[in-house]
Amino acid sequence: MDYLLRGQAVSVRILKAILRSGRIGHAYLFKGPAGSGKTALAKQFAKALLCLNGDSPEGLPSNSGTELGCNECPSCVRVDGDAHPDLIMIEKDGTSIGISAAHSMLKEVLTRPFVSKRKVFIIKDAETLTAEAANALLKLLEEPPAYVNFILTTANESAIPATVISRCQVIPLRAMPAEAVAAYLQEVHNVPEDRSRQIAALSDGSIQKAVWLLSQPDGQKANGEALTDKVMNGSLVELALEYSKADSGERQKLLAALQLEFAEKLSQAAMEYDKRQYGPDNSQAAVLKRNFEALKAIMRARQRLSANTNAFLVFCTLFMDMQRLNSEEI
């Protein structure tokens, strides 16, 4: 788990300071981009809160590393084995966390801890709480038992009611640095260094996206080539309308395929380009620039979709840019 948190040194230091101070809040909100290690860090913090040595010097986190618990007591061992009765994970059922999950939380809150001094609830993707579930959670946050702690995670803080956020201590996480993503791919998936760096550069700081790109590189490349051909030879309006109707996950997969396609083209063009042989007006330099501009256009489209810009307009703009760049003379 250490490799998942290497890029979150600031957040880890904040949590260590909280644990050492002994002033533990009832609720925390871990906010950060998808794939930034929010759940891994929440689990580490929960392990520290449940640690049976937490009140002794050996149970306090060291200044180095990302581990927060003692990792030796029965409680820490159970957390690592996903078998701790006082750690309750709340996850979405389908696309949301509904009122039934809130009712389950209420029952668990009223039951005292079995092993540790506390009970910890990790609510993953808290932005998916329905209005009813959010209201029920708010009541729990207003007057929780002394032995209960909540840890919420989110990639979209704006979708969580302000009344819920106001009752949480917010712990910000950043996107994973590319070097941390590359190190994870090398250590866990045995990916060669060059390949891991290439995937990390396309991952947007997300471990999840990096693993997804790794799992289907050939398919992604084929999808990117096929879509590029459609853009160059089809109706931009019809194509933009088709992809704007897809769900957010499919849109991101589409753009990831294009991003990988043009990143590989850019890499190939860079290897073929020799500035000692070619001048700035040479055709090979133009190829290099054209693929770079296309990659920038794809990344802009991803950012605009993440900002909830109209999907149809985003795809129209992207496909027009791709056609324009393709028609430029070399």
**Residue the block writes with tokens 């200044």:** 63
H or E element at residue 153: strand 148-154
H or E element at residue 122: strand 119-123
Gap between the Cα atoms of 28 and 167, Å rounded:
8
> Tokens representing 44?
């580490």
pLDDT, residue 171, reads 92
Residue 76, classed as helix, strand or coil, is: helix
pLDDT, residue 219, reads 42
pTM above 0.75, yes or no: no
Question: In the chain, pLDDT over 70 holds for what percent of residues?
Answer: 80
pLDDT, residue 181, reads 80
Q: How many CB atoms lie within 10 A of CB 11?
A: 22
175 Cβ contact partners less than 8 Å away, ≥ 6 residues apart: 7, 32, 33, 35, 36, 204, 205, 206
pLDDT band at residue 250, thresholds of 50, 70 and 90? confident
79 or 322, greater pLDDT: 79
- Where are the domains positioned within the chain? 2-172, 216-327
Which tens digits make up the pLDDT trace of 255-314? 777 777 777 666 666 655 555 454 555 566 677 777 778 878 888 887 787 777 888 888
Supply the mean pLDDT for the chain: 80
DSSP states of 8-73: -HHHHHHHHHHHHHT---SEEEEE--TTSSHHHHHHHHHHHHH-TTTTSGGGSPPSSSS--S-S-S
245 or 270, greater pLDDT: 245
> Tokens representing 28?
């925390």
For the domain bounded by 2-172, which CATH number is listed? 3.40.50.300
Q: What is the mean pLDDT of the segment spanning 106-120? A: 91
pLDDT, residue 269, reads 62
DSSP state of 159: G
Indicate if the pLDDT at residue 2 is higher than 60.
no
**Residue the block writes with tokens 């946050």:** 141
Q: Where are the alpha helices (DSSP H) in the chain?
A: 9-21, 38-50, 74-80, 99-109, 131-142, 162-165, 178-189, 193-202, 207-215, 217-233, 236-244, 248-272, 283-306, 311-327
